[in-house]
């Protein structure tokens, strides 16, 4: 198998025995990692950020939902540019008897209001935590 990087200054790929395909981030930017064996070819786009996550937020902030209702929350991480990370954060509710929040595929960040009360919804990503207070009426 032949491995290659479109821009080795951004992301390099190992070709030595026992390490083939291992990718190393070198600098910020975008690159394509490819693998070819005979007529079979595959590619993967990679984005390398020079900075880690600097902030995490949840929108909407301090929402209100009626019992039985649902609400879609969005998590945004700052890398330093903002990116939607709703599908990759870990969501939690301080009191699932009042409101639950989904970590299921395709339902990430969906709140279901169960009973009247107040609950804290938390998103955790890359060592950062963001919270919002949800009122269920």
Positive or negative, the Cα torsion across 78, 79, 81, 84?
Answer: negative
For the question of whether the overall pTM of this predicted structure is more than 0.75, the answer is no
Please name the helix (run of DSSP H) or strand (run of DSSP E) that holds residue 68, with its range, or none: none
pLDDT tens, residue by residue, 6-48:
988 888 898 888 888 888 887 667 889 999 999 999 999 988 7
pLDDT tens for each residue of 41-85: 999 998 877 667 788 999 999 999 999 999 999 999 887 778 888
The mean predicted confidence, pLDDT, of the chain is 91
Where are the chain's structural domains? Answer: 2-48, 55-136
Burial of residue 134 (CB within 10 Å: 0-12, 13-18, 19+) is buried
Cα–Cα dist 132/121, whole Å: 5
* CATH class, range 55-136: mainly beta
The pLDDT value given to residue 105: 87
- Provide CB contacts within 8 A for 9, sequence distance 6+: 26, 27, 29
């Amino acid at each position: 198998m032949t491995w290659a990087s479109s821009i080795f200054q951004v992301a390099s790929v190992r070709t030595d025995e026992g390490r083939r395909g291992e990718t190393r981030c070198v600098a910020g930017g975008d690159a394509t990692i490819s693998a070819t064996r005979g007529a079979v070819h595959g590619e993967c786009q990679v984005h390398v950020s020079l900075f880690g996550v600097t902030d995490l937020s949840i929108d909407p902030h301090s929402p209100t939902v009626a019992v039985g209702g649902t609400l879609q929350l969005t998590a945004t991480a700052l890398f330093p540019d903002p990116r939607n990370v709703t599908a990759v954060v870990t969501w939690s509710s301080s009191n699932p008897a009042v409101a639950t929040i989904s970590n299921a595929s395709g339902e990430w960040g969906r709140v279901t209001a169960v009973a009247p009360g107040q609950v804290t919804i938390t998103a955790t990503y890359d060592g950062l935590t963001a919270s919002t207070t949800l009122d269920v009426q």
